[in-house]
């Protein structure tokens, strides 16, 4: 049984082709609507967002309607420029005056919501009465009897035109596009097409996966199936890890009697999509002969991953890799109990033995280069006389939960494996296995993941994080008045990028260099107050590049200038070595450009930024390349915006090309947080 919540990006665009009637999918005058969702403001406990409906067709559309669903339990509290109804999913209809959308034109409506998750999924866009709702249509279908370990197969697809130049149907059988069957590919029941049919194990949670290329938008799906049992064998339909709809798969009266299921409407992303049909009852699925996908030029696609126990090359052409996390390797975060080695047969340094109590857990953290399904293996021993159950939760923004049962193995030295597919998002994923019974969990020897290359164990998240900032005026915190044009540093705004479990201590102050910050005792203040596991981010270079400026300490005149290839690197190494000696995570932030401008992206601190890049590589230190991100940002803005809302404005109204006002500092703090995620620092776990 799977309980799913999937995080969609703050910006999402879907395209829908509408013909009437929608399920006929024959040649017709098509209206192409593009619906885009955009978060315009997010303050943690609430947000504002908007949806834009664009007519990409050749004739006007009327009476538009959009249905969408907010993620993470967030709710809409008010809406403008449309009429809305419903309680998640919501439906917005035109306000009358904006009912008609001319070709190439668009209308927008906005709304305010409450909750900490501003993201959403657009379920349908309609106009002129043609509906494309992604809720399921009535359906009847089902599954077969078989038991087997998960296997991988490669499949073939055919494409048939439905009569419109924009609409076609891809039929996926046992070739490219069929990625895995948690059961077997059989050929013992007559009437199937292709080389066989998918026969899943008779258990809830078992399923079949396909890989489908799409242009993005609403598509219709049908399965050719046989169900010789007397009862429905329902299945849930997941797209890229998100539950979108379900289908009943009613009895067909015999395992050699094949029918097409009723069509269900789903939304596919632009690009490669992972489709999973998963049994929701203990009988498993119907036997599945083929999957048909109808819409804007769908096609089968190479699979990201298939079942395997070691690094290999998949039949679909994509490389596979396996990550095994033992109790003594990166990625193992801990156990509510102990790591023992008193039972024979374990691998690695021992096994995780939870306390015999409900809600005790084992935790792991892994980083995935590619989002998708991965085959997870848990090696376990259960010497008790009864099964021990748990729930496995994968957290990466949203949470996905899977029920899991560890059957008795007869002895604590007898080991078995439990294999199941889980969905990982790109980036850091925290995996938690929690006991749901009073006896705790089985003993866990290791967790193994097989799928797309790029898996690795990473630093485990703490319950909270403390960040220390060392830097200059670009980073420092300034007095905040009611004006949005106040001077501000990115360190002042960094706290907004993370949840309430993060504390930011900003010791940055203007006019400091990597040397002066140390000489004035500011680094000693950090060492005196920081704890093992804290984070230190340092940005210098803005003042270190001054060739003539000086400062005075104890009557001694000292130059600001530090040669980027010698002195500058030497002083930065004092920060790095000090952090390492204290168990503090350190990250180098390259300086924003000095005296920069739009269009050209002038880079007066480029040599010092390059020195930090080189030092990070030499010392194996995470790098947040704020310099590159800022130069790229400024170069892309041409001409300069009016009014100015990025750089700080001097008293005479001129633009300061080095310092920033609040909006600019907030943008920079987002760049820094992005870089922290790209460097796979554990701090990223707390990102809003």
Instruction: Indicate whether 309 belongs to any domain.
Output: no
216 and 72 both lie in a single domain: no
Residue 664's pLDDT is: 93
Most confident of 27-31, 338-342, 505-509: 505-509
Residue 137's pLDDT is: 28
Domain boundary among 457, 491, 522: 457
Grade residue 130 by pLDDT with cuts at 50, 70 and 90. very low
Res. 439: pLDDT tops 80? yes
User: pLDDT tens-digit profile of 469-489?
Assistant: 999 999 999 998 888 889 999
Residue 563's pLDDT is: 96
Q: Which of 219-228, 525-534, 674-683 has the lowest mean pLDDT?
A: 674-683
Instruction: Indicate whether 480 belongs to any domain.
Output: yes
238 and 263 both lie in a single domain: yes
Instruction: Indicate whether 398 belongs to any domain.
Output: yes
Element (H, E) at 512: none
291 and 390 both lie in a single domain: no
Instruction: Indicate whether 147 belongs to any domain.
Output: no
Instruction: Indicate whether 150 belongs to any domain.
Output: no
Closest C-alpha among 587, 620, 626 to residue 605: 626
For the chain, how many structural domains are there in total? 4
Measured distance CA(55)–CA(10) in Å, rounded: 22
Mean pLDDT of 12-34: 39
CATH number of the domain at 652, please.
Answer: 3.40.50.1110
Residue 139's pLDDT is: 29
Res. 162: pLDDT tops 50? no
484 and 418 both lie in a single domain: no
User: pLDDT tens-digit profile of 324-343?
Assistant: 898 878 788 888 888 899 99
Res. 306: pLDDT tops 60? no
Element (H, E) at 235: strand 235-239
334 and 273 both lie in a single domain: no
Measured distance CA(125)–CA(67) in Å, rounded: 7
Torsion region of 271: left, alpha or beta (phi above 0 gives left; psi -120 to 50 gives alpha): left
Instruction: Indicate whether 534 belongs to any domain.
Output: yes
The more confident residue out of 89 and 14 is 89
Res. 578: pLDDT tops 90? yes
- Are 72 and 121 a contacting pair, CB within 8 Å? no
Range(s) of the domain holding residue 177: 167-300
Res. 318: pLDDT tops 80? no
Domain boundary among 75, 107, 127: 127
288 and 333 both lie in a single domain: no
Instruction: Indicate whether 296 belongs to any domain.
Output: yes
Instruction: Please tell me whether residue 379 adopts helix, strand or coil conformation.
Output: strand
Grade residue 6 by pLDDT with cuts at 50, 70 and 90. very low
Most confident of 95-104, 368-377, 379-388: 379-388
Res. 230: pLDDT tops 80? yes
Res. 546: pLDDT tops 80? yes
CATH number of the domain at 398, please.
Answer: 2.60.120.260
Most confident of 38-42, 114-118, 154-158, 162-166: 114-118
Instruction: Indicate whether 27 belongs to any domain.
Output: no
Residue 255's pLDDT is: 94
498 and 642 both lie in a single domain: yes
* Mean predicted lDDT score pLDDT of the chain: 82
Measured distance CA(568)–CA(559) in Å, rounded: 13
539 and 666 both lie in a single domain: yes
Domain boundary among 268, 300, 332: 300
Residue 140's pLDDT is: 30
Residue 473's pLDDT is: 96
102 and 220 both lie in a single domain: no
113 and 235 both lie in a single domain: no
Beta bridge partners of 562: none
409 and 490 both lie in a single domain: no
The more confident residue out of 155 and 51 is 51
Res. 145: pLDDT tops 70? no
Residue 314's pLDDT is: 31
481 and 630 both lie in a single domain: yes
Grade residue 398 by pLDDT with cuts at 50, 70 and 90. low
């Amino acid at each position: 049984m799977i309980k799913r919540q999937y995080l969609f990006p703050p910006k999402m665009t879907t395209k829908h082709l509408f013909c009437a009637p929608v399920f006929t999918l024959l040649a017709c005058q098509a209206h192409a609507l593009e619906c885009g969702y955009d978060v315009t403001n997010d303050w943690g406990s609430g947000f504002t967002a908007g949806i834009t409906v664009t007519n990409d067709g050749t004739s006007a559309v009327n009476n538009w309607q959009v249905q969408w669903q907010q993620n993470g339990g967030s709710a809409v509290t008010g809406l403008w420029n449309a009429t809305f109804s419903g309680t998640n999913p919501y439906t917005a209809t035109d306000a009358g005056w904006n009912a008609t959308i001319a070709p190439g034109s668009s209308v927008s409506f906005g709304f305010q919501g409450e909750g900490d998750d501003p993201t959403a999924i657009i379920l349908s866009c309609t106009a002129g009465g043609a509906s494309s709702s992604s809720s399921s249509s009535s359906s009847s279908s089902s599954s077969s009897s078989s038991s087997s370990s998960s296997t991988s197969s490669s499949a073939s697809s055919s494409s048939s035109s439905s009569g419109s130049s924009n609409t076609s149907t891809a039929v996926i059988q046992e070739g490219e596009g069929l990625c895995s069957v948690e059961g077997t590919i059989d050929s013992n029941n007559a009437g199937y097409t292709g080389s066989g049919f998918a026969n899943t194990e008779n258990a809830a949670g078992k399923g079949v996966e396909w890989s489908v290329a799409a242009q993005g938008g609403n598509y219709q799906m049908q399965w050719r199936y046989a169900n010789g049992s007397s009862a429905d064998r329902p299945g849930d339909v997941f797209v890229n890890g998100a539950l979108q709809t379900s289908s009943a798969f009613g009895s067909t009266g015999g395992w050699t009697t094949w029918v097409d299921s009723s069509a269900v409407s789903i939304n596919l992303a632009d690009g490669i999509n992972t489709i999973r049909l998963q049994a929701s009852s203990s009988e498993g699925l119907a036997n599945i002969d083929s999957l048909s996908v109808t819409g804007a030029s769908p096609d089968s696609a190479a699979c990201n991953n298939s079942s395997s126990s070691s690094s290999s090359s998949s039949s679909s052409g994509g490389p596979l890799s396996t990550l095994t996390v033992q109790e003594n390797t990166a990625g193992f975060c801990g156990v509510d109990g102990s790591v023992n080695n008193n039972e024979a047969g374990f691998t690695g340094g021992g096994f995780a033995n939870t306390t015999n109590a409900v809600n005790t857990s084992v935790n792991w953290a892994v980083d995935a280069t590619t989002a998708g399904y991965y085959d997870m293996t848990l090696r376990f021993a259960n010497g008790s006389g009864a099964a021990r159950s748990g729930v496995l939760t994968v957290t990466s923004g949203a949470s996905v939960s899977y029920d899991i049962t560890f059957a008795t193995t007869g002895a604590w030295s007898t080991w078995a494996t439990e294999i199941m597919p889980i969905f990982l998002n790109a980036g850091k994923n925290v995996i938690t296995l929690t006991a749901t019974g009073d006896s705790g969990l089985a003993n866990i020897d290791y967790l193994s993941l097989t799928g797309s290359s790029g898996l690795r164990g990473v630093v485990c998240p703490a319950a909270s994080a403390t960040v220390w900032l060392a830097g200059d005026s670009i980073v420092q915190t300034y007095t905040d008045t009611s004006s949005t044009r106040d001077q501000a540093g990115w360190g002042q705004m960094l706290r907004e990028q993370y949840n309430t479990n993060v504390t930011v201590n900003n010791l940055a102050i203007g006019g400091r260099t990597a040397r002066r910050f140390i000489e004035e005792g500011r680094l000693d203040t950090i060492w005196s107050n920081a704890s093992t596991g804290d984070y230190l981010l340092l940005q210098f270079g803005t003042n270190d590049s001054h060739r003539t400026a000086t400062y005075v300490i104890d009557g001694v005149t000292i130059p600001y200038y530090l040669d980027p290839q010698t002195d500058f690197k030497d002083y930065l190494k004092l920060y790095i070595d000090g952090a390492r000696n204290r168990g503090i995570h350190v990250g180098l932030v390259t300086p924003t450009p000095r005296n920069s401008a739009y269009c050209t992206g002038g880079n007066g601190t480029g040599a010092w930024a390059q020195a930090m890049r080189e030092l990070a590589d030499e010392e194996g230190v995470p790098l947040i390349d704020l310099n590159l991100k800022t130069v790229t940002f400024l170069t892309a803005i041409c001409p300069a915006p009016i009014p100015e809302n990025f750089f700080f404005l001097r008293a005479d109204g001129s633009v300061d090309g080095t310092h920033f006002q609040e909006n600019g500092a907030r943008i920079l703090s987002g760049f820094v947080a992005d870089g922290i995620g790209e460097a796979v620092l554990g701090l990223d776990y707390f990102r809003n």
